[in-house]
Every structure is written in C-alpha cells, then in structure tokens.
C-alpha cells in the first residue's frame, strides 16, 4: 500500500492525466517480454528531468520502490515493478534534435529507436544500435540494457555510441556524465557505468547519441550448409579474415523450418543451417570484402553461397522469428548467451546434446559474428515436468557458456530472469563492489530494487 501522504503529494504535483492509480490502468504496466507479471500501484509519466527528480525525492522520503520503464519490450523482467510502488514511464519524454555538425542526436528517453534512425537518415547518418524491436522500444531502454542488434558485429552496441547523458540517481540527484565531444577524459566514465545498469542506478533523462555516416552501399551473401559444424566452421573462417561483415546472422534447422512455415521459398530447401551476411561500405570496399567473405564461406560442408544484392526479404523473415517462436511456445525460455566466435562449434554441439539429454525442443539463431546466440527452449512452464527439465537444461547451458569463456547475456540484460545465475559469471568480490556502487547511487534501495543480484 502506498502511503496516503505520498499519494496526496503526487496527485497534487502532477496533472491527473500523468498519473494512473486505477488497478486496471496500472495493469498495462505489469508486464514486459519476459514471462512474469507484476503490477505497480501507481504509474507516473514525468515530462521533464525536474519531475523525475521530484518523484525520486518523494519515493526516497516515503521509501516507495520506483521502476523506470520505456516501452516494456525488455525480455529480462527489468521493467517489472516486482515490489509494487511506482512504474515511472518515460514514454512521454519524446523530444530530440539533430546536430549534424557534431554528428550527434540529443534525445529524451521516450523517443523510439526507429524515430532516431529516421531522423538521422535524413542527414546521411544512422545510430548503430539496431534491436529488432527498433520500431517500438525506446532510447532510454536501449541505454539501460546496452541494446545491440545484427550490426553490432561491425559497429558495436549502445555503449559504444553514447557520448554523455543526464540522469537522476536513486538518491534524487541530477547528474551529467560524459561530454558533448567525441574526445574527453575528465573524471570517471559514469556514462558507460549507467549504460547497461538496467535502471538500478539512475533514471536516464537525456542522452547525447553519437551518429555514424550511412554506408554508400550494402550487399549481401546467403550461404547454407549441410550441418551445424560446417556452418560454425564457416563463421570462424569469416571472422578470421580482415573484412568485417556489417551483419553475420546464424539460423539453425529449427529456425529455418519455422521461416518455411510462413515464407516457404525464402530459404533453400536443402539448407539445415544458414548464414545471412551483410556487407557495407563503398562499392569498391564491398567488392573486395565480398570476394574474401564468399571464399571464407565455402568450406566442404557448404551447399551454396551466393551474392544477393537485396537481402531485404531475408531480413524480414529473420525478424519474424521471435514472434513466430512465441506463436508455438508463448512462454518459452529465451536466452542471449555469448561465446568467443572460436568456441561456437563446441557451443552448438553441446546445445544439441543438452536438448536431447533433457528432451527439450530447442531453436537457436542470432548474431554469430559476435558469438551471440539466442537460445530458445520451447517449453510450456504450465507443464511442471517440462519446466523442471527446461530449468535444468538452462542451468547446464549457462555452465557451458562460462566454461567456454563466454557471458550470460549479450544484449538483453539480467533483470529478474537471470539474477539467480549471475554468480556463475561474476565472482563474490566483484559482486560486493557492484552492490557498494548501487548503494552510493541509491542509498535507500528504492530504484528498481531486487534486480540484477540474487535476493
């Protein structure tokens, strides 16, 4: 229950249409793309940094938990108000402006990724973080999760494309981190600390996004293989030569079969695994890179590798995979593990072994150039036995990833879904230091409490 005085103060300070307290309205803010549901007791829509600060100060005063939220597309439960309290929805802070001379876009947190891309494109630029959810996820959410996407293999993730930000800490202080220029070494790099902190340290109220010039041309290669081993070998060969593809996506047998249900002619009928490769640059750079990458694709298990000047239809098919999987297994376990590219053969072989061992249907696809694979365990959690087998399988998958020198999450974050496993990757001393940092930013532990670390 929210304290009466807190409720009265909020309703006095905010206009009625920027605060929800009705349980039905609040329910729309109870879920994200994880399997859990957890309603807030109040939703507040701040319109500027001062309003965010006011909410944070009042939440500190009355010890009310507050959970920042963009558009709730996160898959790790990060935006779920697990302990009730306030869902702080940034979706109405939607201002942004382009500064072409400095190659930056200054954005409020509620702007959609796609809006940034559309505006940047008009000036010949793009912002490299390109999650498949671009059309409906926010820049604030992208920063808080350090989102990535297919182009991260060449361009990196959100952390690599933000110069600075303004935020309100858990303690209610407004801070400015980083700078407006592409060079700057004054003080600690708090920008990179806050990026990826999943709304546990500070609420991002503005950010300076570093833009990249659009490539003058884009081309593609599609290569398919007789088995996963040959495909993994080709990924290693591609990444071992010096021409970096702008995307290198892997689709396994299950993914291809799913795509065939919607688009029967998009993938070759004899393919069991497939690589979608994008190459960008000037025409001459593309021509050189294309030859080198095509040759790297062609190992003994390659059934075909062809240049496709327009790979748009394949991208559409690739982007429909997540929703398609949800159709057949709405409450599937969906992970985004990463291993060094050189360890992909061991990862794929062992994923298949573990799926057989636990009798769990498994579909894998993802950003192979980063070694970032979306592992989907198609279980029905309402079936207790399936859920138990799925969880045992997942536990072993995480052990496998760590043994291969990998990491538990490449782009989705830890949130509540993976916090039980964080100790597999991060040692006690480092977790203790991280918790101390959390206390400095948020001494009353009111900002997204309980996320990231095991309870």
Question: By the criterion CB under 6 A, which residues form the site for ligand FAD?
Answer: 32-33, 67-75, 78-79, 90, 109, 131-133, 137-138, 140-142, 144-145, 147-149, 198-199, 203-204, 322, 411-412, 415, 448
Decide whether 69 or 154 has the Cβ nearer to ligand FAD.
69
Tell me which residue of 102, 37, 109 sits closest to 69, measured CA to CA. 109
Q: State the nearest-atom distance from the C-beta of 258 to ligand FAD, in Å.
A: 14
How far is 226 from 272, CA to CA, in rounded Å? 6
**Counting runs of H as helices and runs of E as strands, what totals does the chain give?**
16, 18
Q: State the nearest-atom distance from the C-beta of 156 to ligand FAD, in Å.
A: 12
Decide whether 247 or 305 has the Cβ nearer to ligand FAD.
247
Decide whether 67 or 362 has the Cβ nearer to ligand FAD.
67
How far is 344 from 228, CA to CA, in rounded Å? 10
Q: Which residues contact 455 (CB under 8 A, 6 or more apart)?
A: 419
Decide whether 31 or 217 has the Cβ nearer to ligand FAD.
31
Decide whether 132 or 352 has the Cβ nearer to ligand FAD.
132
Q: State the nearest-atom distance from the C-beta of 70 to ligand FAD, in Å.
A: 2
Q: State the nearest-atom distance from the C-beta of 143 to ligand FAD, in Å.
A: 7
Task: Give the angle 362-364-365 at the CA atoms, nearest 5°.
Answer: 160
How far is 315 from 249, CA to CA, in rounded Å? 10
What is the DSSP code (8-state) at residue 138? B
Q: State the nearest-atom distance from the C-beta of 193 to ligand FAD, in Å.
A: 12
What is the DSSP code (8-state) at residue 363? E
Decide whether 39 or 109 has the Cβ nearer to ligand FAD.
109
As a dihedral over the C-alpha atoms of residue 179, residue 184, residue 188, residue 190, rounded to 10 degrees, the angle is: 30
Distances (CA, A) of 27 to 82, 84, 137: 13, 11, 19
Classify burial at 133, counting beta carbons within 10 Å of its beta carbon; exposed 0-12, middle 13-18, buried 19 or more.
buried
Decide whether 258 or 286 has the Cβ nearer to ligand FAD.
258
Decide whether 38 or 230 has the Cβ nearer to ligand FAD.
38
Residue 174 · residue 168 · CB < 8 Å: yes
Q: State the nearest-atom distance from the C-beta of 170 to ligand FAD, in Å.
A: 10
Q: State the nearest-atom distance from the C-beta of 142 to ligand FAD, in Å.
A: 4
Q: State the nearest-atom distance from the C-beta of 229 to ligand FAD, in Å.
A: 26
Buried b (16+ CB within 10 A) or exposed e, 353-363: ebbeebebebb
């Amino acid at each position: 229950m929210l304290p009466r005085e807190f409720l009265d103060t909020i309703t006095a300070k905010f206009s009625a249409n920027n605060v929800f307290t009705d349980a039905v309205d609040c329910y729309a803010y109870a879920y994200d793309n994880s399997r859990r549901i957890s309603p807030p007791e109040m939703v507040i829509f701040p319109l500027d940094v001062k309003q965010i600060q006011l909410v944070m100060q009042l939440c500190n005063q009355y010890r009310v938990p507050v959970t920042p939220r963009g558009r709730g597309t996160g898959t790790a439960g990060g935006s779920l108000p697990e302990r009730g309290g306030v869902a702080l929805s940034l979706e109405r802070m939607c201002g942004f402006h382009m500064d072409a001379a400095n190659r930056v876009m200054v954005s409020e947190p509620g702007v959609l990724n796609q809006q940034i891309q559309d505006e940047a494109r008009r000036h010949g630029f793009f912002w490299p973080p390109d999650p498949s959810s671009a059309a409906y996820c926010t820049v604030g959410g992208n920063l808080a999760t350090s989102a990535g996407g297919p182009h991260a293999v060449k361009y990196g993730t959100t952390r690599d494309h933000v110069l600075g930000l303004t935020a309100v800490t858990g303690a209610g202080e407004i801070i400015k981190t980083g700078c407006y220029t592409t060079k700057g070494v004054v003080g600690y790099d708090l920008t990179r600390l806050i990026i990826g902190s999943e709304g546990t340290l500070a609420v991002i109220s503005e950010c300076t996004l570093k833009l990249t010039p659009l490539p003058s041309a884009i081309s593609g290669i599609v290569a398919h293989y007789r088995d996963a081993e040959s495909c993994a070998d080709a990924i290693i060969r591609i990444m071992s030569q010096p021409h970096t593809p702008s995307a290198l996506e892997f689709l396994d047998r299950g993914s291809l079969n799913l795509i065939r249900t919607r688009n029967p002619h998009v993938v070759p009928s004899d393919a069991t695994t497939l690589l979608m490769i994008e190459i960008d640059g000037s025409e001459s750079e593309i021509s050189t890179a294309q030859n080198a990458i095509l040759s790297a694709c062609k190992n003994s298990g390659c059934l075909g590798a062809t240049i496709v000047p327009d790979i748009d239809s394949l991208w559409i098919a690739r982007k429909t995979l997540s929703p398609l999987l949800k159709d057949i297994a709405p409450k599937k376990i969906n992970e985004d593990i990463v291993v060094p590219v050189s360890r992909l053969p061991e990862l794929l072989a062992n994923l298949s072994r573990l799926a057989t061992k636990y009798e769990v249907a498994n579909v894998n696809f993802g950003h192979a150039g980063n070694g970032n694979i979306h592992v989907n365990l198609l279980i029905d959690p309402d079936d207790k036995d399936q859920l138990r087998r799925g969880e045992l399988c997942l536990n072993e998958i995480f052990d496998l990833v760590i043994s291969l020198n990998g990491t538990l999450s490449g782009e989705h974050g830890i949130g509540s879904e993976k916090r039980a496993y964080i100790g597999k990757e991060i040692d006690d001393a480092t977790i203790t230091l991280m918790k101390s940092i959390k206390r400095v930013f948020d001494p009353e532990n009111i900002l997204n409490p309980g996320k990231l670390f095991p309870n």
